[in-house]
Structure 1
Amino acid sequence: MRVQRGRAVLLLALERDLGHRLPLVQHEQEVLDVWALVDALLNYPGAAQSLVRILEVFYGNSLSVRAFGSLVRELVPEPWLDHDERRVLHELISALERSDPGLSHLSCFPMLYRRAVGPAWPLLDREVHSLHDVVALLEEIPENGDGVPPLLAFVSDVAEYAGPRSEPHFRDWVRRQVAAHGLDESLLPGRAPTARHEPEPAENYLVVECAPDALEPDHYLVTAWLQVGREPGATLTCADEALSINRIPDLLERLLTAESSVVGRRGPELTIEFVLPRPLLDSPLEQTKIKIGGFEHRIGIKYPVVVRSLDRMRLAAVHHGWRHKWAWLCGNAVDPPVCLVTRRGEYDHEELFSRLSAASPAVLALAYPPWGDGRAEEPDEHWVGLLAGTPVIAWCRDGRDPGQFAREVRDLLAADVMKLPRRAMELRRKALSNGRDGPGPDHLGLHLTLLFDDADRIPEPYVRLSPPA
């Protein structure tokens, strides 16, 4: 092991035995080179035991080999997987990587890792070059509360993304591990191993939070997540530098055009959610323009765009009512009752709060915008609706004739409210359509803000951890 050429031969044999390459950096100093190899042996389960077997083949039962074998048996835990099964898994992953030379599959594994380990475990805390690294990390994480090893949950999900040629092989591998370890196959995360149909892709959400900066009131700390279905979100950016609101378009353009996990998402559907403090809730963010291929367009005509309340997420005291009203709305989404307020001061605030605190109505429509920055700290009808737990609030930013707004919002809120973000997008598209008697600049689609606050998808920083976390 002292000579670099000898180490190269042993490393090649080790990688062949493991079924994958080891990400080793060559160093000019021999001691650093050996230390990099030792580090790899500790990071990849089964690698140290494999090296012992290889050394015994090369050098027999020499004193140094016996001493190294004793050290490994004493200090390195026995891996969870059988050597042959681990090698089969890594060979399947290598085949998947060869079939996807663009490495688009790498965009999904942070989300699959998060799904497998749950919110109590940290995000990937070491440099990850490939799915081999993720598998090595997951093999060392103990099973979760329902008895499912995170590695099996992860591989079961990878099978869904592997395509029709590789999926059966990943499924067979999972079934063998379930049988070998005496596990309950039904506990795996919602996947039927024998299913042959293509699963329906889940909805994708690009969540952008703008939190006020303590030092500069007109600047915001921006965090962005990509969330698939109701799984924990994968962080895309978490800026240390506070940004002004006019820099949000540049960030959005980068996320939508250059962020691999967004561009390479499995399903085509994408909803953009802005989590905003009260002073920003009335900002026309759906009118934000981005440029793709030299063409500039508003995001609100390509994606459903909604806003969510940062202040309510931070105010845990109102979460019970919010969740209760959202659950009621999910079960009564077709043509639900709507609380329509056409004039400021039409209701006393306490009277309005009393009406909205019941499970129904869970939808509030206002013909006028919230108060501006100068009175943002005072309660208005919008703030009362948020405190009452109302999950859906729609309003016109520039004010509206009461009768006209009542007619427009009645058409908008008809049918299934769960599809309201998409109908709002269609309304924004219609506002830009041309024609002899086509819509003009006063069309509601150019002035509508939709707060659509899913109480089942609160970002993790605002969710109370439950046992065992």
Structure 2
Amino acid sequence: MSTSLNVEDQHRLVEAILRIDAMSVRRERAVHLAALERDLGHRLHYAQHNREMLDVWALVDALLNYPGAAQALVRILQTFYPNSLSVRALDELVSELLPEPWLDQADRRELHELITWLERVDPGLTHLGRFPMLYRRAVGPAWPALDREIRSMHDVVALLEEMPAGPEGTPPLLVFVSDLAEEAGHPTAPALRDWVRRQAETQGLDRALFERRFAPIEARREPEPSENYLIIECAPDALEEDRYLVTAWLQVGREPGSTLQCGDEALPLSRIPELLEWLLTSDSSVVGRRNPDLTIEFILPRPLLDHPFEQEMVSIAGVEYRIGIRYPVVVRSLDRMRLAAVHPDWRHKWEWLSGHSVDAPVCLVTRRGEYGKEELLSHLSESSKAVLALAFPPWGGANDETDEHWVGLVAGIPVVAWCRDGRDPAQFAREVKGLLSDDLMDLPRRALELRRQALKGEGAGAGHLGLHLTLLFDDADRIPEPYVRLRPPA
């Protein structure tokens, strides 16, 4: 990529630009940069400095981040100063150091003008909030996460243009723009689709593939919006045991999650509802989701698995409520995600449960110590055992203390339900039987209904199971990327 220039070569570019009289003074330089921005079809952001050398160095940094920008600047200077030897020297240096981009000038400007149009019809920048998911879909899991500051979709397009074609020979930029067209809708979608179709033809890509992908809207059935998952991980801080490093992702369907929050500051548990409230009300990708349905998942270390997160209060537009009566709330095991040795059993049991979710047997344990640990592990290791119900909470002790809950996780059980305050065995057996009947893939929503029942109607009150139920619903097909082994590029 062009951004891989070493310091010496970048300094050569800076010196070559400063040798051009019209580029050595900021006031005159601004005239040519304004012309460059019109040629590119977007703003060229960079931090300006009072010293000419530093200012031009920052300008070169910006030029290197946008494919074709340096070549466009040379063309503009050649128009203004056709006989300048210093401009000719810059042209030769740019040709030596920077490869010609695969998009030509007119196609690139057209794309950036379409992106500008999209941003104008979407003043809330909801599409900018969704770009990490579209970016990851375009580049695949083998590419690293974004390490460049992203101010607009123009930055994303510039970054993707530098990336080589994928296994099918399709440039990631075309995949990104075609998916963006699907997200954008009318009136920008047809123009974006037409741009991709023309680029596919120019690049000699499989026309049939793109014709299927861009069939007319009226000929295609509009797909149902995918389920949304707001995933919040609380990782123990190494220095303060009562504080946690919190990471939040939004995942749409089975797509890779896009990171919403990755704080370096360790937070106490009391601050997590505040963060959750901010995500639900202010994060553009959460607020702008196409499907209103949202499941909230907490990825927790063992000492926090019993914390009543679904009972945490948030305030939206002045209305305060428990998140567990508005959204399905489940927990997931951080320790199991970090323990690769148990992942094969976990994946196998989740796959089995996905195909037998209506008639899956439930292992019910009503008393602590009812099974020996090895006996319980042996029982849960049977292929058909994928659901565990416990009438009692986990031990509140150290991470390495073995209890029935941890045995279930080690055995790969993906669904575990328990009562946090302990329960009369017979009463819990009756209550959980109704909860775990029917299709277990709908269990998070049935738990939502149970929590709502605890606050209304007959039987509501402090003793209702809905106020004391923890549901671990651990989808082995949706593991956040930090815990997935990356595959090499194809």
TM-score class, shorter: over 0.9
Whether 1:354 and 2:385 are equivalent positions in the alignment is no
Match of 1:431 in 2: 454
Checking the alignment, whether the CA contact within 8 Å between 2:125 and 2:284 is kept in structure 1 is no
Match of 2:391 in 1: 367
2:286 aligned residue (262, 279, 285):
262
Match of 1:461 in 2: 482
Percent identity of equivalent pairs: 72
Match of 2:417 in 1: 394
**Could you tell me which amino acid in structure 2 is paired with residue 83 of structure 1?**
Q
> Displacement, 1:52?
2.0
Checking the alignment, whether the CA contact within 8 Å between 2:230 and 2:251 is kept in structure 1 is yes
> Displacement, 1:344?
2.0
Take 1:185 and 1:352, find their aligned partners in 2: how far apart are those partners?
A: 57
Whether 1:322 and 2:346 are equivalent positions in the alignment is yes
2:326 aligned residue (294, 298, 302):
302
Checking the alignment, whether the CA contact within 8 Å between 1:148 and 1:187 is kept in structure 2 is no
Checking the alignment, whether the CA contact within 8 Å between 2:141 and 2:487 is kept in structure 1 is no
Name which of structure 1's ranges 39-48 and 449-458 shifts more when overlaid on structure 2.
39-48
Checking the alignment, whether the CA contact within 8 Å between 1:353 and 1:388 is kept in structure 2 is yes
SS of structure 1 residue aligned to 2:320? strand
Runs of 4+ in structure 1 off by over 6 angstroms are none
Checking the alignment, whether the CA contact within 8 Å between 2:74 and 2:91 is kept in structure 1 is yes
Take 2:232 and 2:427, find their aligned partners in 1: how far apart are those partners?
A: 32
CA pair 285-81 structure 1, distance change in 2 beyond 3 A = same
2:472 aligned residue (430, 451, 454):
451
> Displacement, 1:78?
0.5
SS of structure 1 residue aligned to 2:327? coil
Superposed, which structure 2 residues align to 1:118-267 within 5 Å? 118-184=140-206, 191-196=213-218, 197-267=221-291
> Displacement, 1:405?
1.8
Take 2:292 and 2:76, find their aligned partners in 1: how far apart are those partners?
A: 48
Whether 1:312 and 2:336 are equivalent positions in the alignment is yes
Take 2:324 and 2:207, find their aligned partners in 1: how far apart are those partners?
A: 43
> Displacement, 1:37?
2.9
> Displacement, 1:186?
6.9
**Could you tell me which amino acid in structure 2 is paired with residue 384 of structure 1?**
V
CA pair 11-378 structure 1, distance change in 2 beyond 3 A = closer
Whether 1:406 and 2:432 are equivalent positions in the alignment is no
**Could you tell me which amino acid in structure 2 is paired with residue 448 of structure 1?**
L
Take 1:358 and 1:466, find their aligned partners in 2: how far apart are those partners?
A: 31
> Displacement, 1:159?
0.6
CA pair 3-217 structure 1, distance change in 2 beyond 3 A = closer
Take 1:306 and 1:352, find their aligned partners in 2: how far apart are those partners?
A: 24
Checking the alignment, whether the CA contact within 8 Å between 1:107 and 1:265 is kept in structure 2 is no
SS of structure 2 residue aligned to 1:128? coil
Whether 1:61 and 2:61 are equivalent positions in the alignment is no
**Could you tell me which amino acid in structure 1 is paired with residue 284 of structure 2?**
S
Match of 2:444 in 1: 421
CA pair 345-438 structure 1, distance change in 2 beyond 3 A = closer
Match of 1:441 in 2: 462
Unaligned stretches of 5+ in structure 2?
A: 1-22
CA pair 172-220 structure 1, distance change in 2 beyond 3 A = same
CA pair 213-25 structure 1, distance change in 2 beyond 3 A = closer
Take 2:449 and 2:208, find their aligned partners in 1: how far apart are those partners?
A: 41
Checking the alignment, whether the CA contact within 8 Å between 2:193 and 2:214 is kept in structure 1 is no
> Displacement, 1:448?
0.6
> Displacement, 1:25?
4.2
SS of structure 1 residue aligned to 2:31? helix
Name which of structure 1's ranges 69-78 and 207-216 shifts more when overlaid on structure 2.
207-216
> Displacement, 1:26?
4.2
Match of 1:9 in 2: 31
**Could you tell me which amino acid in structure 2 is paired with residue 254 of structure 1?**
W
RMSD of aligned residue pairs (Cα, Å): 2.1
Whether 1:383 and 2:406 are equivalent positions in the alignment is yes
Checking the alignment, whether the CA contact within 8 Å between 1:335 and 1:413 is kept in structure 2 is no
Name which of structure 1's ranges 439-448 and 19-28 shifts more when overlaid on structure 2.
19-28
Take 1:284 and 1:28, find their aligned partners in 2: how far apart are those partners?
A: 55
> Displacement, 1:165?
1.3
How many residue pairs match? The answer is: 465
Match of 1:77 in 2: 99
